[in-house]
Structure 1
Amino acid sequence: MGAADRGLAVLAVTDVVDAELVPGGTAGAGTAVHADRDRQLSPETVAAIEASAAASTRRAYGADREAFAAWCLREGRTVLPASGETMAEWVRHQTITPRPRTNRPAGPSTIERAMSAVTTWHLEQGRPKPNMRGARAVLNAYRDELAEQKAQAAHARQATAALPAQIRAMLTGTDRTTLAGKRNAALVLLGFATAARVSELASLDIASVAVAEHGYDVTVYRKKVRRHTTNAILYGTDPATCPVRALRTYLAALDEAGRRDGPLFVRVDRWDRLAPPITRGGRTIGDPAGRMTAEAAAEVIERLADTAGLSGDWSGHSLRRGFATAARAAGHDPLEIARAGGWADGSRVLARYMDDVDRVKNSPLVGIGL
């Protein structure tokens, strides 16, 4: 575990000793007085707290918190608890300081995430949440400034939606006679059909797939909402983009290779064989059963879009966004879309995806006689 990950839930186990997970009262009649032992967390509990967030969130929040702590140290400011003035100054610092990778200041959404990382850090450490009024005023002024400058950063970055036409183009150049090609076709089509995040796709096991009269039932664990969804995978009208046919073909190829259990999406080497375990210094790293990582699954999607010559901002999230957009365009109910894709009730992200369709279909200009 790197330093960034360790910063997610707690600074370190020794720091947690002083953190109040339950508000302590004033000692007196009828009031519990907590001993030092009552304030301690074991390393195992610390790890469990950290594991409650997605790995990508842990990395991002950890990096944000380290950056904030380093800035406070340079500026002679208190890290925890931070004052409202410190938060406002820190946000202002981010709006004017170029980042090494892009040579431009962070965008509003990146700063928003960093603010959340620091405020939740306070809560995790039993500290009062800092006053964010000044920080939010600085961020709002920054948004206005970017919009007036017509800067690209004024718009929140979104993955390009992978709609059926784009998916068809992505798979046209895929050699589906190979194990890798069969895997990639199943990954793309199943990812779209289940509206799965790449981390959810990578977590699927062969046992997650059940044959059904309509095709398959695939059970996906949606970590962000902490529940399972069982998605009905139906036959497509076009054999080239039919998720049932693609999944059946891939499962048959796995069976032929002797793989009947374990992870569904696995690494394939350059000789088109199931990849052996990866070792470093004589020790096995990664999943010994050859499970693909979420990053590898995302790379498949990005590479197929690039090979197909598709323009846009392609990522592992393109399939999930494409599902929401296509389903809404076909007239499906937003609640059913949310349930199928494991979105939280009232998800603003899902609403934004569907708004791409609704702003035209439900425009007040429709039918007014212009």
Structure 2
Amino acid sequence: MAQTPRNPPPERRKLSSESGVPPVAGSHAQAAASENTLKAYSKDWGHFARWCRRRGTDPLPPAPDIIALYLTSLATPGTSPSARPLAASTIERRLSGLAWNFTQRGFPLDRRDHRIAAALAGIKREHGRPPVQKEAIQPEDIMAMTDTLPHDLRGLRDRAILLLGYAGGLRRSEIVSLDVRKDGTPDSGGWIEIMDQGVLLTLNAKSGWREVEVGRGSSARTCPVQALEQWLHFAKIGFGPVFLRVSRDGKRTLDSRLSDKHVARLIKKTVLDAGIRAELPDKERLALFSGQSLRAGLANSASACERYVPQEPGHAPAEKPRPDRRRQDRFRINLTRAAGL
């Protein structure tokens, strides 16, 4: 009896090479990147595979000259008005997506190959521009932003998102990935533990697991912990995702977890509604603020406690307590109040 060959036939290998799902990517490789990153990488591969197909070439194995030509095409204006050239930073991220996909398919890509490196350097020199610095949200800004929110379920949820994200210096993906309890859902990115002095967030961040302490604020209006408690109470959430979608009438929660895109839209909408930087046109105001504005706001507002504030929220603090004293030292430094809340 003939044995089944280990390698799939060529036609099946070609089909898998054009698929958005890497055929050899295991669960550990998938877990190494966030859900949003995996979605972006899948789109990157799909676009590259279609580009290759239109030119009669196969995306596998990786050919440095083909990849260099592809990167150059991304920076070149298309024939239609909608086919605008991509920014140099976006093209570099596309290359990262391709490299990840090639590796998962068993073909590691050498990004330092002189053809790829030369193409990328030329794109940066011709189309590169400095990154846009997002403006930090100040304590008076976050108060004005939360004051624009309604008092229905949607308003309670969004108020908790803004205050918790600001006081914790959280990424928008970290905010929406929180669960009420440990091991709550398969797509969980961490969980919360509400205590007398505040709430402890355990997060699976880009750099690994970390804990974030958010102390109680100086008033009910600005306390992120109280806002979180009110949302969980009135939304009747005792397990699963902390932040859920809400019905159009704002009266009931839905089953699906909130998207991190909602956080970006929420920040921009409340910035406009609160009249922050009203001297600028709306388009310029929207470009100034993003999810990064919450993280930057904490670092700026809590400068009085600079010794205990990371250089960038989400990194290890300057002084780390000894493990045997870690629990008794919780909330000894209340960054919520130091930040003006």
The alignment status of 1:240 with 2:221, answered yes or no, reads: yes
Paired AA for residue 42 in structure 2: G
> Contact 1:302/1:316 (CA < 8 Å) preserved in 2?
no
What corresponds to 1:341 in structure 2? Answer: 314
Shift of 1:307: 2.2
| Structure 2: unaligned runs, 5 residues or longer | 1-15, 182-190, 277-284, 319-341
Output the CA distance in 2 between the equivalents of 1:124 and 1:92: 24
What corresponds to 2:243 in structure 1? Answer: 265
Output the CA distance in 1 between the equivalents of 2:163 and 2:137: 10
What corresponds to 2:115 in structure 1? Answer: 134
Paired AA for residue 250 in structure 2: D
**Post-superposition CA distance 1:93-112 (Å, at most 9, x none):** 11113497854200011100
What SS is found at the alignment partner of 2:75? helix
Residue correspondence of structure 1 range 220-259 to structure 2 within 5 A: 220-227=202-209, 229-237=210-218, 239-254=220-235, 258-259=236-237
> Contact 1:205/1:262 (CA < 8 Å) preserved in 2?
yes
Shift of 1:47: 5.5
What corresponds to 1:300 in structure 2? Answer: 266
Paired AA for residue 341 in structure 1: G
Output the CA distance in 1 between the equivalents of 2:215 and 2:79: 46
> Contact 1:97/1:104 (CA < 8 Å) preserved in 2?
yes
What corresponds to 2:168 in structure 1? Answer: 194
Q: Percent sequence identity over matched residues?
A: 28
What corresponds to 1:320 in structure 2? Answer: 295
Output the CA distance in 1 between the equivalents of 2:17 and 2:300: 35
What SS is found at the alignment partner of 2:246? coil
What corresponds to 1:70 in structure 2? Answer: 50
The alignment status of 1:172 with 2:147, answered yes or no, reads: yes
**Post-superposition CA distance 1:293-319 (Å, at most 9, x none):** 333343333322232244143334432
Output the CA distance in 2 between the equivalents of 1:157 and 1:103: 23
Shift of 1:85: 1.9
Output the CA distance in 2 between the equivalents of 1:344 and 1:222: 17
Paired AA for residue 161 in structure 1: A
Shift of 1:326: 4.0
Output the CA distance in 2 between the equivalents of 1:211 and 1:62: 37
The alignment status of 1:105 with 2:85, answered yes or no, reads: yes
Residues 118 and 248 from structure 1, CA distance in 2 versus in 1: closer, same or farther, beyond 3 angstroms? Answer: closer
> Contact 1:192/1:323 (CA < 8 Å) preserved in 2?
yes
Shift of 1:234: 1.8
The alignment status of 1:217 with 2:217, answered yes or no, reads: no
Paired AA for residue 315 in structure 1: S
Output the CA distance in 2 between the equivalents of 1:4 and 1:326: 49
What SS is found at the alignment partner of 1:222? strand
What SS is found at the alignment partner of 1:260? coil
What SS is found at the alignment partner of 2:124? helix
Output the CA distance in 1 between the equivalents of 2:46 and 2:124: 25
Aligned pairs, number: 284
Output the CA distance in 1 between the equivalents of 2:50 and 2:35: 22
What corresponds to 1:282 in structure 2? Answer: none
What SS is found at the alignment partner of 1:210? strand
> Contact 1:225/1:343 (CA < 8 Å) preserved in 2?
no
Paired AA for residue 152 in structure 2: T
What SS is found at the alignment partner of 1:221? strand
Residues 68 and 341 from structure 1, CA distance in 2 versus in 1: closer, same or farther, beyond 3 angstroms? Answer: same
Output the CA distance in 2 between the equivalents of 1:98 and 1:220: 46
Shift of 1:182: 1.9
Residues 96 and 192 from structure 1, CA distance in 2 versus in 1: closer, same or farther, beyond 3 angstroms? Answer: same
Residues 276 and 74 from structure 1, CA distance in 2 versus in 1: closer, same or farther, beyond 3 angstroms? Answer: closer
Shift of 1:51: 4.5
**Post-superposition CA distance 1:72-130 (Å, at most 9, x none):** 23334442222322222222111113497854200011100111112222222222424
Residue correspondence of structure 1 range 280-299 to structure 2 within 5 A: 287=256, 291-299=257-265
Output the CA distance in 1 between the equivalents of 2:206 and 2:259: 18
Shift of 1:235: 3.1
Structure number having the greater helix percentage:
1
Residues 66 and 337 from structure 1, CA distance in 2 versus in 1: closer, same or farther, beyond 3 angstroms? Answer: same
What corresponds to 1:349 in structure 2? Answer: none
Residues 146 and 49 from structure 1, CA distance in 2 versus in 1: closer, same or farther, beyond 3 angstroms? Answer: closer
> Contact 2:245/2:253 (CA < 8 Å) preserved in 1?
yes
Residues 168 and 72 from structure 1, CA distance in 2 versus in 1: closer, same or farther, beyond 3 angstroms? Answer: same
What SS is found at the alignment partner of 2:212? strand
Output the CA distance in 2 between the equivalents of 1:160 and 1:223: 23
